[in-house]
Amino acid sequence: MEFHLSSSTPSGLKDYLIQMLKRQITYRKLYALYHVSFNVYKGEVVGIIGTNGSGKSTILKIISGALKPTKGKVYVDKKKIQLLTLGTGFDVELTARENVYLNGSIIGYSRKFLDEHYDEIVEFAELQDFMEEKVKNFSSGMVSRLGFSIATAGDAAEILILDEVLSVGDEFFKKKSLKRVKEMIHGGSTVLMVSHSLQTILDNCSKVVWIEQGELRMIGEPKTVCEAYRSSKAEGE
């Protein structure tokens, strides 16, 4: 996955057009992922680890179809995928109720599905008294709880992609959300998950993929890969 990053920061469209006409804008290439390849088999729970900026979330977006890779192919039935990621598609000027339908539609839920699961979403998020409030008045924890509740509503898909969905809310809600995700994971779905918590990876995954600075470092048994990752961090690599 290759991105082209602009060397300038124009203040607006007019400034951008002027700089472009004067050929003052240059771009540099950033390889978010470089020659990364692995297989995930039916029923596996695969964890993806690596430091910040290593390309973990990028590869999840490519697999789910949200991004198209610059080169290479992904072989997956996208109709069977459910991507769970928090904070996407919230409008802070809308109420929490309105954001349930906005965020839910972005995830891919129908209006009928959201009508049927609305009460369940609100109850799990523990926001019964706040649904008519604008989201801009919410704390970050309240927004995270609402996002998690929407993302995990209903039955789990055949292929689950979890992008840091277990780092939400206070300690009590983290335990509650972990319990729900574990139920989804162990309900027969094939799962890919990104988490900064190595313990979460060790507790739930059958295989681990380590990506560092966009390149594949190791694939294998969770304990072996996580120990190698820890060692590299301890050595300041």
DSSP string, 5-22: EES---SSHHHHHHHHHT
Q: Are residues 8 and 78 in the same domain?
A: no
Q: Are residues 3 and 72 in the same domain?
A: no
Rounded Cα–Cα distance for residues 226 and 1 (Å): 25
Q: Are 205 and 221 in contact (CB under 8 A)?
A: no
**pLDDT tier for residue 108 given thresholds of 50, 70 and 90:** confident
Q: 3-class DSSP state for residue 214?
A: coil
Q: Are residues 69 and 13 in the same domain?
A: no
pLDDT of 174 reads 79
pLDDT of 167 reads 64
For the whole model, what pTM was predicted? 0.76
Q: Are residues 89 and 25 in the same domain?
A: no
Number of domains in the chain: 2
**pLDDT tier for residue 86 given thresholds of 50, 70 and 90:** low
Q: Are residues 68 and 27 in the same domain?
A: no
Q: Are residues 5 and 54 in the same domain?
A: no
pLDDT of 187 reads 80
Find the domain containing 213 and state its range: 32-234
Q: Are residues 97 and 51 in the same domain?
A: yes
Q: What stretches of 74-114 adopt beta strand conformation (E)?
A: 81-85
pLDDT of 177 reads 82
Q: Are residues 195 and 158 in the same domain?
A: yes
Query: 12-49, pLDDT tens digit by residue?
Result: 777 767 777 777 767 778 888 999 999 999 989 999 99
Q: Are residues 7 and 79 in the same domain?
A: no
Q: Are residues 20 and 135 in the same domain?
A: no
pLDDT of 234 reads 79
